[in-house]
Amino acid sequence: MYGDMDREGAAIALAGNIAGAATLGIDRDGRRLKRGVRHAYCDFLVKNLDEALRILKNEIRKKQPVSVCFEGVLASFLHVFVDRGVQPDILAFSGENEDFAVLVERGAIVLPTTEAGEDSQQGVAWAAEMRSAFWLPKVDALVAEVLPVDDARQRWLKFASRYLGRFVTGQRYLRMTAEELEAFRSRVASAMAAGEIGTQITIETLR
pLDDT at position 115 is 47
**pLDDT computed for residue 61 by the predictor:** 93
- Give phi and psi for 141, each to the nearest 5: -65, -35
* pLDDT computed for residue 194 by the predictor: 95
Q: Please report the pLDDT score of residue 117 as a whole number.
A: 47
Q: In the prediction, which pLDDT does 166 show? A: 57
| pTM of the full structure | 0.61
- The 3-state secondary structure of the chain, one letter per residue: CECCCCHHHHHHHHHHHHHCCEEEEEECCHHHHHHHHHCCCCCEEECCHHHHHHHHHHHHHCCCCEEEEEECCHHHHHHHHHHHCCCCCEEECCCCCHHHHHHHHCCCEECCCCCCCHHHCEEEEEEECCCHHHHHHHHHHHHHHHCCCCCCHHHHHHHHHHHHHHHHCCEEEEEECHHHHHHHHHHHHHHHHCCCCCCCEEEEEEC
Give the pLDDT score at 15: 82
Q: Can you give the pLDDT at residue 17?
A: 82
Domains and CATH numbers, the chain: 7-110 (3.40.50.10730), 118-206 (3.30.70)
**pLDDT of res. 20:** 82
Could you say which residues of the chain have pLDDT below 70? 112-119, 162-169, 207
What pLDDT does 94 receive? 81
Q: Say how far apart CA 20 and CA 47 lie, in whole Å.
A: 24
